Structure 1
Amino acid sequence: MNPVTNPYSPGAGTPPTELAGRDDLRETVRIAIARLRLGRPAKSQLLIGLRGVGKTVLLEQMRLDAEKEGVHTVRIETPENRSLPALLAPQLRLALLRLSRIKTAQHVAHKALRALAGFATSLKMKFGDIEVGLDFEPEPGLADNGDLEGDLTTLLAAVGVAAQHADTALVMFIDELQYVSENELAALITALHRCAQDRLPVAMMGAGLPQLRGKAGNAKSYAERLFDYPEIGPLEHDDAVKAILEPAREEGVAFEVEAVEAIVKETQGYPYFLQEWGKHTWDVARQSPITVDDVITAHQLTIAALDESFFRVRFDRLTPAEKRYIRAMAELGAGPHRSGDIAALLQREVTSLAPLRSKLIEKGMIYSPNHGDTAFTVPLFDEFMRRTMRLENL
């Protein structure tokens, strides 16, 4: 097959040709944003899922859907080493400048820009990474108290009034929310809560690893009522089949049934793995229809590609002690596993490993689905660890 026309696109947030199995959630978000725009109650959404389930791709598609409807959006990915105010400030500035070009919203958008100037100036000492162009002088007393929770609430309310006057909504699409510190997340939740109480058209569609649900609840007790938490998991069988077949069909290429079933079995329906297996199977196939032998031939190439990219980039961030902990987990299987079982394999006390476990959760490598349980946030990572690190190295 021609690699130039290969329709599969494994990558970090790279949109696939066929976004299968997510239509219901896209429609839920579309309705929520439409209600928000009319001043009616609508919950923000926090997409929860493991690595490789397509949260980033889905979040971006939802943002594009909203933009097509005339909604103003903000797109942010939160790394581990940046503050939320530093990420929000420049994006809100761009949104407000767009809103200020709408005649009915110009005056209130300018006021919101003055609030942003006060916000950035007053919090610069606390969050030294805030860098944002200031188009207006701060207005004394407007979002300039130096208290993140209060100032962010005032700022988002001002943004909401501007969006309201422009007959639109402002929706923040924020990825990797689990990396936001708890106090910053609490401030954001408080601000969104105030906007919801005042029926202002401001909302957030976020995404993060499974620990985000608990983190939001710890930040503010009412977070469970402010957000819906849809679980984004592997695709159902028929959707996984569609994700493989439709892109090929558009290129005039077919798959044998056994070939598709083999890919679905290998990938367990995880969207990223479907794209990786599809890509390498396409590249080794000589002609249509693509056969199960092609899938078998592509197997080692696919595993090698995953090991050197998807898995390795996460493995290389770990300290030697963290690698040993993860390798012990892998020896027990896919999980989840009891913390005591992991400690027993390492011949350590559970309490002595607690700081190490907490650090791995903070890095987004593992999470706790239930009290005392530990599971990987990366599907199939146990298999990678068994391939990569010998058990006797523990």
Structure 2
Amino acid sequence: MTANPYTPGQVPRVFAGRAAELRRIEDQLARVLTFGELGGPLLVFHAPRGIGKTSLLRTAQRRAEELGFVAAWVACSRERPVLPELVGSLRTALERAEVLPRGGAGGVWRKRLERVSVEVGLPGAKVAAEVASPPGEKPDDTLGLAPIHALGTLLHDAAALVRRRGGAGLLVLVDELHVALPDDMSILLNTLQNLDGDREHNPLAVVSAGLPVTPEALTRAATFGERSAFVPLDVLNGADARAVLTAPAEEAGVGWTEGALTAVVDEARGHPYLLQLIGSGTWDAARPRRGSKLGSPTYDAGCPPPSSS
């Protein structure tokens, strides 16, 4: 028996479909890569749960890193502000990519990241002047309350640092955006609005995902949130649904009978999570070996394969 290659509730091992949506992301990355400028407005994919939003973002993250981007990932939560999490993720991404300066300058960067993560997470907190000042320069004491300025400067400097060190730029990925606090949404939107005013010097892109309520939540957080690029995700078409099932099995040296494949695709109706769930249940029930096929005369008769329940 070979290991079950299906991953219901997790990012799939083999990503299939969503070619048009991936092109939307790749278009933004190409703009950053080619011109060294902001990839475009906030890109927001929205759909009900189980449609594959997180898998899409994770696939985009892998592709971006292959192109030389540093990618920072954050998932929003109702229990805590997301901006400190974003700054922490940015620090981890920069360290992993080994682009932070060495020596004293690197220490300044790390202190700066720590300070931002604290200040943007405290409503009404004063953002320290050194946060918004480039490393090595004297802080500007006139900044006062400036979370938008601080976050914008940090994203600009981090993206420019990646570019100077030979990378393509910075990609920020924000999952579960619909549960972000309104203040965090407002700060993020205003930050991107300010960066767009000087887009030629900001080599970064921001891509997000959330439930169908996300566009309304962003518009409430800031009126110009409607300028974001909203892309709804639908269920998979027949060809992509079949690929979700066949591609992982083929990597394990296992095939599907046509009857079993058709039965699962019809049962799941293009829902990525159900495809993974039924595929996983079928695999566990069949316990296939390399070179075998998932299916039986029962499946070929048109009956759905066993579920995992």
Q: Is TM > 0.5 for Structure 1 vs Structure 2?
A: yes
2:114 and 2:137 map into 1 onto residues whose CA distance is 5
Give 1:75 shift.
1.1
Equivalent pair of 1:96/1:112 in contact (CA under 8 Å): no
Q: Is the counterpart of residue 42 in structure 1 residue 39 in structure 2?
A: yes
Matches within 5 A, 1:202-217: 202-217=204-219
Alpha-carbon spacing, 1:272–1:121, altered in 2? closer, same or farther (3 Å): closer
Mark the CA change 1:228 to 1:149 in structure 2 (over 3 Å): closer, same or farther.
Answer: same
Give the aligned residue type for 1:154: T
Aligned length: 288
**Contact kept? 1:49, 1:209, Cα under 8 Å:** yes
What is the aligned counterpart of 2:60 among 53, 59, 62? 62
SS for the counterpart of 1:99 is coil
Give the direction of change, closer, same or farther, for the CA distance of 1:234–1:143 in structure 2 (3 Å limit): farther
Unpaired runs of 5+ residues, structure 1, are 129-133, 305-394
Deviation readout 1:164-206 (Å, 9 max, x if unpaired): 4335311111111111011211100111122222121122111
Matches within 5 A, 1:306-317: none
Query: Would you say the 8 A contact 1:39–1:201 is kept in 2?
Result: yes
What letter is aligned with 1:14?
A: V
Q: CA separation in 1, counterparts of 2:217 and 2:118?
A: 28
Q: Deviations over 1:66-109 (max 9, x none)?
A: 01111111011122211122202212223455333499xx96x7
Instruction: Give me the identity figure in percent.
Output: 26
Q: Aligned with 1:5: secondary structure?
A: coil
Q: Which runs of 5+ in 2 are unaligned?
A: 126-130
* Counterpart residue number, 2:203: 201
* Aligned equivalent of 2:221: 219
Contact 1:195 1:202 in 2 (8 A): no
Measured in 1, the distance between the counterparts of 2:298 and 2:57 equals 35
Q: Do 2:38 and 2:203's aligned partners in 1 also have CA atoms closer than 8 Å?
A: no
What TM-score comes out, normalization by structure 2 length? Answer: 0.80
Provide the C-alpha distance between the structure 1 equivalents of 2:255 and 2:119, rounded to a whole number of angstroms. 60
Between 181-190 and 38-47, the greater mean CA deviation after superposition: 38-47
1:6 equivalent in structure 2: 4
Distance 1:114 1:142 in 2: 18
Q: Distance in 2 between matches of 1:189 and 1:61?
A: 24
SS at 1:7 equivalent? coil
**1:112 Cα deviation (Å)?**
5.6
What is the identity, as a one-letter code, of the residue corresponding to 1:9? T
Higher helix share: 1
State the one-letter code of the partner of 2:44: L
Which residue of the partner structure matches residue 264 of structure 1?
Answer: 265
Residues 127, 170 of structure 1: CA spacing in aligned structure 2 closer, same or farther, 3 A cutoff?
Answer: farther
Residue 123 to residue 39, structure 1, CA distance change in 2 (3 Å): closer
> What is the CA-CA distance between 1:266 and the residue it aligns to?
1.4
Distance 1:171-1:144 versus aligned 2 partners, 3 A rule: farther
Structure 2: distance between partners of 1:122 and 1:173: 21
**2:19 equivalent among 20, 23, 26:** 23
What is the CA RMSD across the aligned residues, in angstroms?
A: 3.2
Provide, for residues 361-381 of structure 1, a one-character-per-residue CA deviation record: whole Å limited to 9, x for no partner.
Answer: xxxxxxxxxxxxxxxxxxxxx
Deviation at 1:123, TM superposition (A): 4.6
**Structure 1 pair 222/127, CA: closer, same or farther in 2 (3 Å)?**
closer
Residue 274 and residue 96 in structure 1: after superposition, are their counterparts in 2 closer, same or farther (change >3 A)?
Answer: closer
- Cα distance in 2 for partners of 1:52, 1:198 equals 37
Name the CA distance, whole Å, in 1 between partners of 2:120 and 2:39. 30
**Conserved? CA contact 2:46–2:214, under 8 Å:** yes
TM-score, normalised relative to structure 1? 0.64
Q: Which has the higher contact order (CA 8 A, sep 6+)?
A: 2
Distance of aligned partners of 1:160 and 1:5 in 2 relative to their CA distance in 1, 3 Å threshold: closer
Q: Which residue of 1 aligns with 2:128?
A: none
- In structure 1, how many angstroms separate the alpha carbons of the residues matched to 2:235 and 2:142? 43
Change (3 A) 1:164 1:194: farther
Tell me the residue number matched to 2:172: 172
CA 1:160 to 1:153, structure 2 compared with 1: closer, same or farther past 3 Å?
same
Partner SS state of residue 45, structure 2: strand
Cα distance in 2 for residues equivalent to 1:255 and 1:147: 58
* Alignment correspondent of 2:29: 33
* Structure 2 CA distance for partners of 1:243 and 1:93, relative to 1, 3 Å: closer
Q: Return the alpha-carbon distance in structure 1 between the equivalents of residues 196 and 279 of structure 2.
A: 43
